[in-house]
């Protein structure tokens, strides 16, 4: 499904030979018509791809021109050669749109520990630059060019009025496995034609990432390449000048990022359930987030959902080893709106009915309530299936 491309942006995706399947694009360019703002959030893994190291040093900035994304090769754990190759990618991409290397960002995703085939990358950048456009075909090819093990495209958009004038936000992402972001394998580019300063863009993106990409997990494995960028062309001429304007823009950006973030665990390799986990009643948001992530990453919890088993014991005990203090006698748990645990004890519930509600719905809603305060977090994860094990035992990282 295509989405409106914000003013001031052009995109293209091409196949250049990085992937073995010629039917799948493997290089994408996203360019601006003139200098633009770029902000980024990145993996917290100590082992990072060359692209992450370089992008961190360049963002936030106010003279961005282009991002080049390759899929099929993460260019991670490739030493000084990998760093040189990433800089060369940036130089080539910038030159293709009339800019210089400091104005270009690079994103790489795929197999770790393999050198980039730079001759293919070079030809791919030239080919993509020649095809840059704003139509549906250009947009869709760019989305396909960033995908690896994804089963479907991940896109989201919103149009919002700021001061009575329209602003467009459109975003693309990839990710299905190795998902445990701390800013999964995930990449995201959010484009907007709003006029933003680099400082404001960074603050908006950081806020949105905390409530979206940092609240998802497939298996808790933080990638070497995780990157989310916010690119603002300013081509609409609309700037959020008041606190109210900024709040509207923040809410809209949050919605776009959350929509994208949910698609990633939903596409988790072999996943049969998308699980929404609301942790409420905590002393702080950090406490709620830590409990949610601990429960979401528990293999026993995840396999219980695979088997449509309302196993309250696995969920509650996972919360108990999260390292966050709480009163176990005041914990409540519901699954799909049905109370199954209350005041530290199992409630009287129809296990067959709860199981059927899990079986008959791909999306499962879990609420784990505490009594320590009023802080809460919404977190998304997937279940853990035999298909996930089979896929990742065959797939070379």
Q: pLDDT band at 21, cuts 50/70/90?
A: confident
> Per the structure block, which two tokens stand in for 278?
């609301």
Give 178-234 pLDDT, tens digit per residue.
444 443 457 899 999 999 999 999 999 999 999 998 888 765 555 566 789 999 999
What residue ranges do the domains of the chain occupy? 9-266, 274-394
Does 27 have pLDDT greater than 70? yes
Record the pTM.
Answer: 0.85
pLDDT of residue 239: 96
Average pLDDT estimate for 16-26: 86
CATH placement of domain 274-394 = 3.10.20.340
Taking each continuous run of H as one helix and of E as one strand, the counts in the chain are: 11, 15
d(CA 64, CA 47): 26
Give 109-137 pLDDT, tens digit per residue.
888 889 999 999 999 999 999 999 999 99
CATH topology of domain 9-266: 3.60.70
pLDDT of residue 397: 47
Does 289 have pLDDT greater than 80? yes
Q: Which residues 6+ apart lie within 8 Å of 221 measured at CB?
A: 178, 179, 180, 184
Give 329-356 pLDDT, tens digit per residue.
999 999 999 999 999 999 999 999 999 9
Average pLDDT estimate for 136-145: 95
Give 300-336 pLDDT, tens digit per residue.
999 999 999 999 999 999 999 999 999 999 999 999 9
pLDDT of residue 366: 97
Q: Which residues 6+ apart lie within 8 Å of 141 measured at CB?
A: 11, 12, 13, 14, 25, 28, 131
Beta strands in the chain (DSSP E): 9-14, 27-42, 61-73, 104-111, 154-162, 165-174, 187-192, 216-217, 227-232, 274-282, 332-335, 338-342, 345-346, 363-369, 375-382
Does 292 have pLDDT greater than 90? yes
Give 260-271 pLDDT, tens digit per residue.
988 887 766 677
d(CA 229, CA 28): 14
Enumerate the active-site residues. 185
Reduce the DSSP state of residue 373 to 3 states and report it: coil
């Amino acid at each position: 499904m295509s989405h409106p491309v914000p003013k001031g942006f052009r995109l293209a995706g091409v196949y250049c030979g990085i992937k073995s399947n010629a039917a799948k694009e493997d290089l994408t360019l996203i360019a601006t018509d003139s200098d633009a703002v770029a902000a980024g959030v990145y993996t917290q893994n100590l082992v990072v791809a060359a692209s992450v190291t370089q992008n961190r040093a360049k963002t936030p900035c106010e003279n961005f021109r282009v991002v080049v994304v390759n899929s099929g090769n993460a260019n991670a754990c490739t030493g000084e050669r990998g760093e040189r190759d990433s800089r060369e990618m940036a130089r080539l991409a910038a030159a293709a749109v009339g800019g210089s290397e400091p104005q270009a960002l690079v994103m790489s995703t795929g197999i770790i520990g393999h050198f980039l085939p730079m001759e293919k990358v070079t030809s791919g950048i030239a080919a993509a630059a020649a095809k840059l456009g704003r139509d549906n075909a250009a947009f869709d090819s760019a989305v396909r060019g960033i995908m690896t093990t994804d089963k479907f495209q991940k896109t989201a958009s919103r149009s919002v009025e700021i001061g009575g004038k329209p602003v467009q936000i459109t975003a693309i992402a990839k990710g299905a496995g190795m998902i445990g972001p701390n800013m999964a394998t995930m990449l995201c580019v959010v484009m907007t034609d709003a006029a933003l300063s680099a400082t404001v863009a960074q603050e908006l993106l950081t806020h949105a990432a905390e409530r979206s990409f940092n609240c998802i997990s497939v298996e808790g494995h933080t990638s070497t390449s995780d990157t989310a960028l916010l690119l603002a062309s300013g081509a609409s001429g609309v700037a959020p000048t008041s606190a109210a304007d900024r709040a509207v823009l923040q809410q809209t950006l949050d919605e776009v990022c959350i929509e994208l973030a949910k698609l990633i665990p939903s596409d988790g390799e072999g996943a049969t359930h998308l699980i929404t986990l609301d942790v409420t009643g905590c002393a702080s948001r950090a406490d709620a987030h830590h409990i949610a992530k601990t429960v979401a990453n528990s293999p026993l919890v995840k396999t219980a959902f695979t088997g449509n088993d309302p196993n309250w014991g696995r969920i509650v005990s996972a919360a108990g080893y999260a390292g966050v203090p709480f009163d176990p006698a005041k914990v409540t748990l519901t699954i799909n709106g049905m109370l199954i645990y209350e005041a530290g004890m199992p409630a009287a519930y129809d296990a067959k009915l709860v199981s059927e509600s899990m079986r008959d719905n791909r999306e499962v809603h879990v609420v784990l309530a505490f009594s320590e305060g009023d802080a809460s977090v919404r977190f998304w994860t997937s279940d853990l299936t035999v298909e996930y094990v089979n896929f990742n035992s065959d797939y070379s990282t």
